[in-house]
Amino acid sequence: MFSLLLRKSTSSLFLPKCMNQAITTTTTAATRSMRNNVDPDSHPQQQPETIFQNVNSVIESGKFGQTFAVVHFYGQQYLIHLNDIFAVQTAIPADIGERIKLEKCLLVGNENFTLIGRPILNRDLVQVEATIVEKTMTQTDMNMFHIPRKHGFKRYRFKREPLTMLRINNITICHPLNTNQKQIN
């Protein structure tokens, strides 16, 4: 049995000398073996046709599991899941309870695959719907403006931004992928 000592000055971990040598020899041997035994044929690349077939079979079955998406909304990106509630710091011109469609979807995925847009996915491929839950204002921010040369000159500015809460109703992939595309990166 050995004990571990922690030196306070450098905050490094000290091991007995024999243990230290054993760790360094195994790590260098492991890195050498990993460097020398890299075989490009050991992990063959899948053909694009088989990848499209696998993804399309999952899309057609409709059993995605937990689906997520990254949407671009009013200048910011949001990672969303089904039934998530997220806040957008802007006023959306719609009433509470109305459903809206988020059209700028950057990527959508689940546990089996992920579709990444360049820069966004096609509107016909992915449909993300949300309901406006609440429209309110943010907490009041106070900024103090002070000029040091003018004695006692202080001005206060108060600022509140509109805030809209959205609930994600559904994230759907509408149709199978185009199999004519041959490039997968």
pLDDT digits (tens, 9 = 90+) for 38-82: 555 555 666 777 878 888 888 888 777 889 999 999 899 999 999
Q: Could you tell me the residue ranges of all domains in the chain?
A: 63-173
Grouping H, G, I as helix, E, B as strand and the rest as coil, residue 35 is: helix
CA atoms within 13 A on the CB side of 48: 9
10-35: buried (b, 16+ CB within 10 Å) or exposed (e) per residue? Answer: eeeeeeeeeeeeeeeeeeeeeeeeee
Closest Cα to residue 168, out of 73, 105, 113, 102? 102
The answer, as to whether pTM is greater than 0.75, is no
Residues with Cβ within 8 Å of 62's Cβ and at least 6 positions away in sequence, in order, are none
CB atoms within 10 A of CB 1: 2
pLDDT of residue 149: 81
pLDDT digits (tens, 9 = 90+) for 115-146: 998 899 988 889 999 999 999 999 999 988 88
Q: How large is the average pLDDT for residues 7-11?
A: 37
φ/ψ of residue 94, rounded to 5: -150, 160
pLDDT of residue 113: 87
